[in-house]
Amino acid sequence: MSAIQRIREDIHSILERDPAARSSLEVVLCYPGLWAIWMHRVSHPLWMAGLRILARLLSQLARLLTGVEIHPGAQLGRRVFIDHAFGVVIGETAIVGNDVTLYQGVTLGGTGKETGKRHPTVCDGVVIGNNANVLGNITVGENSRVGAGSVVLADVPPNSTVVGVPAHIVYRNGQRVLITDPHDVKDPLSDALIALFARVEELEKRLGGEAQPSEPFSAEAAERVAYRKELERLREFVSEGEGI
């Protein structure tokens, strides 16, 4: 595919995915995320050719102009759309597939000083919400969605939706995923939830062998009835005019 065809494809994909885009001219003039991708298409071949400093300088110029930092070593597929492009960071060994949508503030980063493949692989058709962080050498499967503000630290299966810090699956293949085991909640408070769950189980076992009233407050109701019967028995009735 020629460079002109790729440019037309990029513009058309934005017109299809962004209802705010009204014309090709508007897309070309007003979408810095598109500029960042086009500049990356120049810096990436320079990086692969060994012209590392020149490639990095070009990527820094793109960062200055667009607010998007794409390392020239990163691999981007076709029709990648960076919407509201500001604060997006894509690391050196990141791989981004076709038809991927990234919103503002997304980071495809690493988790430390590892060498080799240390950034995520984002497969085709993935949508990553604003300010989400996808970190480490993990894979986000095809057609998955990452919720805004999520921190993804583990692989995401295809056709899934993940949310949270750290992220966990809430939808998979169109079906709601319910968490029934507290151990599945990978949250900083998960240990407290697990302890609470264990305490509830212990209390249920202790109460399981005792006879429970069939209805709430049934014992109190029975005492009330007995008390009223006793009052009726002790009450003295005086007929009208008695003792005159």
Mean pLDDT taken over the chain: 86
The whole-angstrom separation of Cα 25 and Cα 157 is: 38
pTM of this prediction exceeds 0.85: no
Q: How confident is the model at residue 188 (pLDDT cuts 50, 70, 90)?
A: low
Domain boundaries, the chain: 3-178, 191-234
- The answer to which of 11-15, 88-92, 111-115 has the lowest mean pLDDT is 111-115
In tens, the pLDDT along 200-242 reads: 888 888 887 554 555 555 666 777 777 777 777 766 555 555 4
Pick the CATH number of 3-178 from 2.160.10.10, 3.30.360.10, 3.30.70.1520, 2.60.40.10: 2.160.10.10
Q: How confident is the model at residue 244 (pLDDT cuts 50, 70, 90)?
A: very low
The whole-angstrom separation of Cα 51 and Cα 95 is: 20
In tens, the pLDDT along 96-110 reads: 999 999 999 999 999
Q: What pLDDT score does 135 carry?
A: 95
In tens, the pLDDT along 108-140 reads: 999 887 788 999 999 999 999 999 999 999 999
Q: How confident is the model at residue 37 (pLDDT cuts 50, 70, 90)?
A: very high
pLDDT for 181 beyond 50: yes
Of 112, 191, 103, nearest to 150 by C-alpha is 103
Q: Which amino acid is at 211?
A: A
In tens, the pLDDT along 140-157 reads: 999 999 999 999 999 999
pLDDT for 184 beyond 80: no
Q: How confident is the model at residue 160 (pLDDT cuts 50, 70, 90)?
A: very high
